[in-house]
Amino acid sequence: MLKAGRTHRLTVSRITEHGLYLQDEEQQEVLLPNRYTSLTDQVGDEKEVFVYHDSEDRLVATTETPTIRVGEAAALKVVDKTVHGAFLDWGLVGKDLFLPNRNQQGGILAGHSYIVYAYEDNITGRCVATTKLKSFIDNELISVNVRDEVDVLIASESPIGYRVIVNNRHWGMIYRNQLFRPVQIGERAKGYVRRITEDGRIDISLQQQGFAQVKDSVEVLRALLREHDGFLPINDNSDPQEVARLTQMSKKVFKRCLGMLLKNREVEQTEEGIKQIRA
């Protein structure tokens, strides 16, 4: 069934002067306007499109990729405000995402970005946004496990770290002592589940744990050496903050990586830093 705010894989059913009509398995049709088509398109071709409501409340398709879809959270910029609500840039040319007044929490200012969740309005069927996240993001039934790779959206900052949205479904936390690179509110990143507590808290790291983390970090260290002409001004006695600044690794991980490179005779360590051994 065709629904707004979602990506569909559809079949070209007919070609008209206005564009292509695409059909789903239930023979429902939606127009893909001419600006998204080419002369090579033929009846029977399959196309992956995003479906949304146009200004006249009709379903229409686009080949553009939106920043957010139904069931997802993202940081979106307010491009306009009216008495009825705000309009957000979600990556579609000529069409903004509506954020109704009833879905706004706190003041909303044009030109500012906010963390929002997109959902299908059960009355209009339209895809709309909300800044009231509690109805959609929770930890009541956790669907991730320790060591899982997850999608992370940086949602807010606190004295102890950053609150994040995990897989568009759960709340998580990245603690400051687990951060080895700067992050920004609204940034999307790959993360890893470090711990799930008995009371349902999810601790997240931006680095893998254990051997997998070291294996990946060794490649990072090799790449950094290549980028800096085979020399880095740090060694196993360097300050942890300096190590994190140069490598985005903890001192512990850096030392394990350095140990592997020393064992493989890929680098040598001096008082000034580590130097790549040329083959």
Is residue 213 predicted with pLDDT exceeding 80?
no
pLDDT of the residue at 211: 46
In terms of CATH architecture, what is 149-205? Beta Barrel (2.40)
Give the start-to-end residue ranges of the domains of the chain. Answer: 6-62, 73-130, 149-205, 210-276
Highest mean pLDDT of the ranges 55-59, 108-112, 227-231: 108-112
With b for 16 or more beta-carbon neighbours within 10 A and e for fewer, the 90-110 pattern comes to: bbeeebbbbbeeebbeeebee
Average pLDDT for the chain: 91
Q: 39 and 4 in contact (C-beta within 8 Å)?
A: no
Is residue 5 predicted with pLDDT exceeding 90?
yes
Q: Would you state the structure tokens that stand for residue 239, as one six-digit string?
A: 């300050």
Q: Which has more confidence, 253 or 44?
A: 44
Q: How far apart, in whole angstroms, are the C-alpha atoms of residue 142 and residue 114?
A: 25
Fold of 6-62: OB fold (Dihydrolipoamide Acetyltransferase, E2P) (2.40.50)
Q: 113 and 86 in contact (C-beta within 8 Å)?
A: no
Which CATH number applies to 73-130: 3.30.930.10, 3.10.20.90, 3.40.30.10, 2.40.50.140? 2.40.50.140
pLDDT of the residue at 249: 81
Q: Which has more confidence, 107 or 133?
A: 133
With b for 16 or more beta-carbon neighbours within 10 A and e for fewer, the 36-71 pattern comes to: beeeeeeeeeebebbbbbeeeeebbbbebebbbbbe
pLDDT of the residue at 215: 65
| pTM of structure | 0.77
pLDDT of the residue at 222: 87
DSSP 223: H
Range 33-48 average pLDDT: 94
Same-fold call for 73-130 versus 149-205: yes
250-267: pLDDT as tens digits: 888 888 888 888 888 888
**What whole-number percentage of the chain has pLDDT above 70?**
97
Range 195-219 average pLDDT: 80
Please, which pLDDT band fits residue 212 given cuts at 50, 70 and 90? low
Is residue 101 predicted with pLDDT exceeding 70?
yes
Q: How far apart, in whole angstroms, are the C-alpha atoms of residue 141 and residue 151?
A: 17
* CATH class name, domain 210-276: mainly alpha
